[in-house]
Chains A and B, each alone.
Chain A
Amino acid sequence: MAERTLPFLDGLDALPDDALAAARRAGAARFDALGLPGARSELFKYGKLERLTGVPFEAAPAEAPAALPGWPAPDGAHARLVLVNGRYRPDLSDLAALPAGVTVRGLADAAEDVGGVAPATGDDHPFLALNAALATDGVALEVPAGSGELPAVHLVHVAAAPGAAPIAAHPRVLLFVGGDSTLSVLEHLVGAADGPAVFTNAVTEAAVGGDGHLRHHRLLTAPQQAVSLFQTRASVGRDASFDSTSLTIDGGLTRTDTRVGLNAPGATARVNGATLGRDAAHADHVTRITHAAPHGTSEQTFKSVLDGGARAAYQGGVVVERDAAKTDARQRHDALLLSGSAEADGKPSLEIYNDDVACSHGNTMGRIDRDALFYLRARGIGEDRARALLVAAFADAVLDHVAPGGVRTLMRRAAHRWLDMPEDAEDAEALDAA
């Protein structure tokens, strides 16, 4: 047989001959056929995948590390779902805040529709295929129609190797939001600062029913040795919305790849992200929003703040199909470069097959405004703090889109800690409420 692109696919051949194994092998075959994206791949033009191929990752063992890294939790009532290296851990989770009717299932032992995991098909994306081949666990959360607004769900991805070897995990997350329900989820990646490298290749699949709303958030705070790939595939129904905000802080190679289908009239997508990167951090955000029905709205706002040798890229995509009249689609990326060696790339793109649409895109690169910096310093504010205030203002424009509440405060705190002014997140909320 052909040589595999990544060594950890080998184990699949030994699996018993059942439907699940066949589906997983099909995923492996797709991945092998697609191959690891090379330098000529448009979608991976900016990503540094040698950080993935250069490390001998092993499949994550069943056992968790003796001591797990901690994580901050959002204020207020919320449910907690914990995955450790892709494995759902009911013992660490707390579902008490969720009303009856909402179901949470671990995927390893889930029967029927999502039994044991595998599909994650939909499009030919190599890391989707890799997840299909290798995901063995994860979590499915299902909100029945008519549930109203639910307490937030804090979904923690712990990425920490139990031994000395670098490991790979392939979590799968399924979110089903029925009509007339509003679910807010924070996918929160935490790692061990000093541990071996962890490769997280997660796939989140979401479906939002008519008049349903999914507020999806990501707070990615992996250590510098990590490779973290988060693929999202969302399908949005009539007058429903998928609202996604990611905050990427440092990390090694981090990549979000978000594709949203606005499949019924009046569907809305907002896909926003902020990157705060230092040193050798590299973050890629790739989006593709497909307007397949009339009267859809999509908005994308990405901000990159880069210091040291950090890099970030935004590759935005909007596709307006022939039937999607009255589409309103906006994309913008702004980068703030704090050092001479930081680098940002922005590449919004549009494919339009209908004339009756309003689409816009923009991309800017800038540095700290010297006049603003002087103004702040002339009021007694030290130079470092003055810079931090200006950077926070720049990045907050993304977090301002998040609905007020514990999740937003948690994300703000993380951003302000990066800026070395931790008390400011609380202040911002307090002053705003005063």
Chain B
Amino acid sequence: MLKIHDLHVAVDGTEILNGIDLDLKAGEVHAIMGPNGSGKSTLANVLAGRDGYDVTGGGVTFKEHDLLGMAPEERAREGLFLAFQYPVEIPGVATTTFLKHAVNAVRRHRGEEEVDAMGFVKLAREKGRALGIDDAMLKRPVNAGFSGGEKKRLETLQMALLEPGLAILDETDSGLDIDALKTVADGVNALRTEDRAMLVITHYQRLLDYIVPDRVHVLAQGRIMRSGDKDLPAELERQGYADLVNPAA
């Protein structure tokens, strides 16, 4: 599904990622943990195609295509989904309007028939219900004035509607209380399937108690310092990141 090979990325001339390797297969959930400034969000943004990042070495393939050569919208249509750490507020664009454009862009790409306004409202309501997203929230402008929990639930709804092959969750737990975290995690877990892969990026173990990964990688200083199974986070929780960030200390 996703193969990252010796990826180097710089921002304004400063190298942030210093050679990342990762092989994520369909059906797998990998977690990337690491302290602040380790390059976790840089990795998520580079994979989604945000500008401002210079790839200085290595490469990424997604479903055997060269991912880094694709525009952000092409990546999304091919099935890559980034759940944003900070979902963007877009005043004036109704959430349903936005979602319908997104869903139809992806459907067109897959050669599927587009959904009309009424059909779409039905679909969004149905999928929204499980996430506690009501009509009023769907009519509001995208993320505008949403609470942290509402934003993350809307990200999850988008994932449910777009049915991506690869979902990258960037600090999805940030800003969530425990109830909101459970709702979002339930929504994410409902989307775990044999043909879908997930990359869960988080600072804390907490999220991984709810979304249990198959593999866990620890990112520090722009490199994967350690990889392990689902028990690695508990170990990190006890020891902290300090040894990894300053291995010589």
List chain A positions with a Cβ less than 8 A from chain B: 369-372, 374-383, 385-386, 389-390, 392-394, 396-397, 424, 426-428, 430-432, 434
Q: Report whether B96 and A431 are in contact in the complex, using a CB–CB cutoff of 8 Å.
A: yes
Contacts of A428 in B (CB 8 A): 94, 97
Contacts of A426 in B (CB 8 A): 117
Q: Which 5 A-B pairs have the closest CB atoms?
A: A393-B92, A380-B76, A379-B102, A375-B88, A380-B105
Looking at B30-38, B45-53, B176-184, B209-217, the stretch in contact with chain A turns out to be B45-53
Contacts of A390 in B (CB 8 A): 90, 92-93
Q: Report whether A380 and B77 are in contact in the complex, using a CB–CB cutoff of 8 Å.
A: yes
Cross-chain contact of B90 among A370, A372, A382 (Cβ < 8 A): A372
Task: Write the B86-103 contact mask toward A (1 if CB under 8 angstroms, else 0).
Answer: 011111111011101110
Q: Report whether A374 and B72 are in contact in the complex, using a CB–CB cutoff of 8 Å.
A: yes
Known: A380-B77, A385-B101. A374 touches B50 (CB 8 A): yes
Which of chain B's residues 22-78 have a Cβ closer than 8 Å to chain A?
A: 48-51, 71-73, 75-77
* Chain A residue, CB-CB nearest to B122: A434
Bound together, the chains give a CA A396 to CA B88 distance in angstroms of 19
Task: Give the Cβ gap from A247 to chain B, nearest Cβ, in Å.
Answer: 16
A–B pairs, 17, beta carbons within 8 Å: A369-B88, A371-B88, A374-B51, A375-B90, A376-B101, A378-B72, A379-B73, A379-B76, A379-B102, A380-B76, A380-B109, A383-B73, A385-B101, A389-B101, A392-B93, A393-B91, A431-B100
Contacts of B121 in A (CB 8 A): 431, 434
Bound together, the chains give a CA A379 to CA B73 distance in angstroms of 6
Q: Report whether A432 and B94 are in contact in the complex, using a CB–CB cutoff of 8 Å.
A: yes
Q: Report whether A378 and B71 are in contact in the complex, using a CB–CB cutoff of 8 Å.
A: no
Using a Cβ–Cβ cut-off of 8 Å, how many residues does chain B contribute to the interface with A?
38
Q: Report whether B139 and A432 are in contact in the complex, using a CB–CB cutoff of 8 Å.
A: yes
Bound together, the chains give a CA A369 to CA B141 distance in angstroms of 15
Q: Does B84 contact A (CB under 8 A)?
A: yes
Among A375, A393, A397, A424, max chain B CB count under 10 A is at A375
Known: A372-B88, A375-B87. A383 touches B71 (CB 8 A): yes
Cross-chain contact of A385 among B51, B75, B91, B105 (Cβ < 8 A): B105
Q: Does B106 contact A (CB under 8 A)?
A: yes
Q: Report whether A431 and B105 are in contact in the complex, using a CB–CB cutoff of 8 Å.
A: no
Contacts of B84 in A (CB 8 A): 375, 378
Contacts of A379 in B (CB 8 A): 73, 76, 98, 101-102, 105, 158, 162
Q: Report whether B92 and A394 are in contact in the complex, using a CB–CB cutoff of 8 Å.
A: yes
Known: A424-B97, A431-B97, A434-B118. A393 touches B90 (CB 8 A): yes
Task: Give the Cβ gap from B130 to chain A, nearest Cβ, in Å.
Answer: 20
Additional A-B contacts beyond A375-B87, A397-B92 (19; CB < 8 A): A369-B88, A374-B88, A378-B82, A378-B84, A379-B73, A379-B76, A379-B105, A380-B73, A381-B73, A381-B105, A382-B105, A389-B93, A389-B97, A393-B93, A427-B97, A427-B100, A427-B117, A428-B94, A430-B117
Cross-chain contact of B76 among A369, A378, A385, A424 (Cβ < 8 A): A378
Q: Report whether B97 and A380 are in contact in the complex, using a CB–CB cutoff of 8 Å.
A: no
Task: Give the Cβ gap from B241 to chain A, nearest Cβ, in Å.
Answer: 29
Cross-chain contact of B162 among A376, A380, A392 (Cβ < 8 A): A380
Q: Report whether B73 and A377 are in contact in the complex, using a CB–CB cutoff of 8 Å.
A: yes
* Chain B residue, CB-CB nearest to A431: B96
Contacts of B93 in A (CB 8 A): 389-390, 392-393
Task: Give the Cβ gap from A304 to chain B, nearest Cβ, in Å.
Answer: 15
Q: Report whether A431 and B106 are in contact in the complex, using a CB–CB cutoff of 8 Å.
A: no
Contacts of A374 in B (CB 8 A): 50-51, 72, 88
Bound together, the chains give a CA A426 to CA B118 distance in angstroms of 12
Q: Report whether B102 and A381 are in contact in the complex, using a CB–CB cutoff of 8 Å.
A: yes
Known: A430-B117, A431-B117. A380 touches B96 (CB 8 A): no
Contacts of A397 in B (CB 8 A): 92
Contacts of A378 in B (CB 8 A): 48-50, 72-73, 75-76, 82, 84
Bound together, the chains give a CA A381 to CA B94 distance in angstroms of 15
* Chain B residue, CB-CB nearest to A424: B97
Contacts of B48 in A (CB 8 A): 378
Task: Give the Cβ gap from B122 to chain A, nearest Cβ, in Å.
Answer: 9
Contacts of B72 in A (CB 8 A): 374, 377-378
Q: Report whether A377 and B97 are in contact in the complex, using a CB–CB cutoff of 8 Å.
A: no
